Chains A and B, each alone.
Chain A
Amino acid sequence: MPIYLYIDHGSVVHRLNPTVKVFALFVMFWSVYWVDHPLALLPLGALMIVLAQLTGAWPNFYRLRWLFILLIFFTTLAWMVFYRKGPALIDTPIIHLSRASLTFGLGRGLKLAELLATSVLFLSTTKVEEFTAGLARIGVPYRVGFAITLAFRLAPLFIDSALTVVQAQSLRGYDFNRGGPLERVKRYVPVVVPVFMGALRKANNMAMALEARGFGMSAMPTSYIDFPIRPRDRVAYALLIGLAAIYFLIYWTGYGSISAK
């Protein structure tokens, strides 16, 4: 099973300059930030579906499908507890189901799902090396950028190792789901200890291998990746600025808020 999200699909999005993609990440977050209403969020969702198709990123969405479903479902449910406005269809001491609470909750759920989808699209189309180079290009110090990208490289290794540990302990008859919430947290000790010890060892080995390959020799290493700004990147910048402006306008005119009818 692949441990990174990057899918070498060769789409036009893959070929964009990494700084454009870092900017796109920012624009998506910006656009999602300004609006609350699900209807205002839907065009962005549709755009992401188109991009997922274009970039061949569906396998990653499939891998994370439960995360998306749970995120939307539980966020919607949670806001029915806290957002107690509007005439209630169902009103209990815990759940307040109204058109307003449903709309607000669904909006929040969609926001989170779209932020996640943006990140998945970004990682599906951008190699970590490009990410590092893109960050360096916009002025982030090399070591900081490398540390961020190293986290992306390490996370799948640790998840993999955690899954193995869970398997090993469950085969020794261990039931992780026994007891109350506190008890359950404590029951993860047989997983946390081996994963943590393994992570320390792995991090140490990796640091050694990195230094042995010259990491740290120069504060500004050269880059094998050559990414000039091409016409398609300029077009992408223009489209992204347009998108950011449209979403700010939607906010400015009040169409993105929940009270908008």
Chain B
Amino acid sequence: MDAVKPRGPHQALAAPDAREAPGAIGVAVEQGTAHPAAALDDVTFTYAGGDRAALSHVTFALGAGEMVGVMGASGAGKSTLVKCLNRIVPAFEDGAFSGVVRIGGRVLGDERVCDAAPIVGMVFQDFEAQLFSTNAAHEIAFAMEQVGMPREEIAARIAPALAAVGLIGFDDRDPTSLSGGEKQRLAIAAVLALRPAVVALDEPTTDLDPEGKAEVFALIRRMRSDGLSLVVIEHEAEELRGCDRIVILREGEIIVHGAPAEVMTRLDLLEDCGVHPPDLNRVLSLLGIAAHAASIDEAEALIRARYTNLPARGASIDSGGAPALADPLAAPTDDRASAPPIVAVRDLSFAYPYGPRVLDGVSLTIAAGEFVAIIGQNGSGKTTLAKHLVGLLAPAAGTIMIDGRDRAALRPAETAATVGYVFQNPDHQIFAATVADEVAFGPRNFGLDAAEIARRSDEVLRAVNLDTLGDRDPFLLSKGERQRLAVASVLALRPRMLILDEPTTGLDYREQRRMMALVGDLNRAGIAIVMITHTPWLVAEYARRVVLMRHGRVTFDGAVRTFLARDDLLAGSSFRAPEATALGRRFGVVALGPAELAAWIKGRA
């Protein structure tokens, strides 16, 4: 019985003339057929209640076996575009739809979203919402059960699906116990088990640490080399260098469409569209080299061809002594010694009941005016440490002093006036009817008078650039604006230290820059910043001190440049140096950003 025989790991249910690629991840592709794997023809969609079209006359084709990257600012229509492929738009989302969507030449008409599942797989950004089973095997089985596959076939497909995403032996693991990267790979396996012809991934790595991100993109590259047709939405252009084509959307329209080499050299346009341009191309452009580098090797070769007197590869690392590296933001400072500590943690340990130790002998001091990045894998104890600083968790052992007073004697609300905490998701705190009310909430709780509240509200709303939106409903703001509102409402208590947990998650590049400009300004105004983050360029360009956590311990605490110069730390940290830094190290220098590296190279000429 051929139907229940375990075949190649993934094969399209709906591709009668498909060729099999033995042992491959992807489906066999209908090569040589006239139809693209997926196509949108003059598609326009306006969400119910929307004031403009989310997609406007979009025509787009995904060739069989092709990988297309979709980029653009928040609200540009990227998600709407991919949701057209499996009928979420318009079958699930309310709105006005016109145009034609074809999958493998077949026009999608009145199908339900579930009917498209066997031919179009979709992976979402939010893994909590797409994993709902108690173990990995059930998670993968779910879609196959829904399409009515016999038990034997389901059982035969689970192991290959897990193998395809590198999760062999994970059958009985509870999805909630997996790391971020593993969760997202499991979600991909659950989609691949149906062997769809097209897979769309909507910002699949937004919430992942660099290691998880690398895992997922390595998997995506494998899926592509095995012939699957892929659409990937992503903010970081460098991740999409391996695509066949890049599509850039702005306000619902495709404004650029071309090969990566063509699109990724248009740096200003990328930035203008909320996309983080590749570091390598930025360095080349600053050096006057009009070319696209597909890898660090290529960038190095292009630069060496132009600048012949650069140190050879393997030269000793210059971690900040060169005059060109005297950027004030970048210079390693030792402001800890001069200022009294706001927070002093000594031998802090913590474990949840029946759980392993989450913090293990952590000692740390943070002084006024510092800018500290806490980095480390998901689950390394970063957030647990931060929650101890503000009194949301009580240590099992060790002490925490806030401004010289034992934190155990302070209520969380009392700590809040010294140490502010901005949660990762702004929507965990926003509730008021207007932006101004939201900001006034904290000061009101502290019993300040109306005049003082008004003064502080004005002050912080100006600081976060929301002063013209005081009367707006916070739920109608963009994600970036809501994140800045959350910062403003914590700032209204005038803390001397601000803890930011992943302040840029889910923001596009433009919003990330705006957010970080704000954080930089606050820091220059004297507020100590503690930022928990996974994003390498944020650490390199903004922080001055790195605290690296691993298995609940602090394994490094020192200047950013020192950290980025040490391969041993980088290797075990799940952290990747930004590409500009990695490129600089080929020339024996630790640069913290493209501008710094380009300036150093020019200075050598």
Q: Which residues of A are in contact with B by a Cβ distance under 8 Å?
A: 1-4, 6, 8, 59, 62-63, 127-129, 150, 153, 157, 161, 164-165, 167-175, 189-194, 197-198, 201-202, 205-218, 220-226
Q: Which residues of B are in contact with A by a Cβ distance under 8 Å?
A: 86, 88, 92, 112-118, 121-122, 124, 126, 128-130, 132-135, 137-138, 141-151, 154-155, 158, 172, 174, 176-177, 190-191, 194, 352-355, 387, 390, 392, 412-413, 415-417, 420-421, 423, 425, 427-431, 441-442, 445-446, 475, 489-490, 493
Q: Are B132 and A150 in contact (CB under 8 A)?
A: yes
Q: Which residues of A contact B489 (CB under 8 A)?
A: 172
A168 CB contact (under 8 Å) in B124, B129, B138, B429: B429
Given A205-B129, A208-B88, A217-B148, answer yes or no on A171-B413 (Cβ-Cβ < 8 Å). Answer: yes
Most chain A Cβ neighbours within 10 Å, of B116, B133, B428, B493: B428
B475 shortest CB reach to chain A, Å? 7
Q: Are B113 and A212 in contact (CB under 8 A)?
A: yes
B177 CB contact (under 8 Å) in A2, A164, A169, A208: A2
A198 CB contact (under 8 Å) in B112, B113, B132, B428: B428
A165 shortest CB reach to chain B, Å? 5
Given A170-B412, A170-B413, A174-B413, answer yes or no on A224-B137 (Cβ-Cβ < 8 Å). Answer: yes
Q: Are B130 and A211 in contact (CB under 8 A)?
A: no
Q: Are A213 and B423 in contact (CB under 8 A)?
A: no
Q: Are B145 and A222 in contact (CB under 8 A)?
A: yes
Given A1-B352, A168-B429, A223-B145, answer yes or no on A212-B151 (Cβ-Cβ < 8 Å). Answer: no
Q: Are A222 and B154 in contact (CB under 8 A)?
A: yes
Q: Are A216 and B114 in contact (CB under 8 A)?
A: yes
Give Cα A126–Cα B128 distance, bound, in whole angstroms. 21
Q: Which residues of A contact B416 (CB under 8 A)?
A: 171-173
Q: Are B112 and A216 in contact (CB under 8 A)?
A: yes
Give Cα A223–Cα B152 distance, bound, in whole angstroms. 10
Q: Which residues of A contact B122 (CB under 8 A)?
A: 209, 212
Residue of A nearest to B173 (CB): A8
Q: Which residues of B contact A4 (CB under 8 A)?
A: 134, 174, 176
B214 shortest CB reach to chain A, Å? 24
Q: Which residues of A contact B191 (CB under 8 A)?
A: 213
Q: Are B431 and A59 in contact (CB under 8 A)?
A: no
Q: Are A224 and B144 in contact (CB under 8 A)?
A: yes
Given A206-B129, A217-B148, answer yes or no on A2-B176 (Cβ-Cβ < 8 Å). Answer: yes
Q: Are A172 and B490 in contact (CB under 8 A)?
A: yes
Most chain B Cβ neighbours within 10 Å, of A3, A167, A171, A202: A171
Instruction: Beyond A173-B493, A198-B428, list 7 extra A-B contacts (CB 8 Å).
Output: A157-B128, A165-B428, A167-B412, A168-B429, A209-B129, A211-B114, A218-B146
Q: Which residues of A contact B493 (CB under 8 A)?
A: 172-173
Q: Are A189 and B431 in contact (CB under 8 A)?
A: yes
Q: Are B429 and A169 in contact (CB under 8 A)?
A: yes
Q: Which residues of A contact B415 (CB under 8 A)?
A: 171
Give Cα A208–Cα B154 distance, bound, in whole angstroms. 23
Q: Are A171 and B392 in contact (CB under 8 A)?
A: yes
Residue of A nearest to B150 (CB): A222
Give Cα A172–Cα B172 distance, bound, in whole angstroms. 41
Give Cα A190–Cα B431 distance, bound, in whole angstroms. 6
Q: Which residues of A contact B425 (CB under 8 A)?
A: 164, 198
Q: Which residues of B contact A63 (CB under 8 A)?
A: 353
Q: Which residues of B contact A174 (CB under 8 A)?
A: 413, 441, 445
Given A205-B126, A215-B114, answer yes or no on A8-B174 (Cβ-Cβ < 8 Å). Answer: yes
B353 CB contact (under 8 Å) in A62, A192, A207: A62
B135 shortest CB reach to chain A, Å? 7
Give Cα A171–Cα B390 distance, bound, in whole angstroms. 8
A-B contact pairs, 10 of them (CB 8 A): A157-B128, A170-B392, A171-B392, A172-B429, A197-B427, A206-B129, A211-B92, A212-B117, A217-B148, A223-B145
Q: Which residues of A contact B144 (CB under 8 A)?
A: 222, 224
Give Cα A170–Cα B190 distance, bound, in whole angstroms. 39
Q: Which residues of B contact A194 (CB under 8 A)?
A: 427-431
Given A1-B352, A59-B353, A190-B431, answer yes or no on A214-B134 (Cβ-Cβ < 8 Å). Answer: no
Given A59-B353, A218-B147, answer yes or no on A164-B423 (Cβ-Cβ < 8 Å). Answer: yes
Q: Are B134 and A222 in contact (CB under 8 A)?
A: no
Q: Which residues of B contact A1 (CB under 8 A)?
A: 352, 355
B232 shortest CB reach to chain A, Å? 16
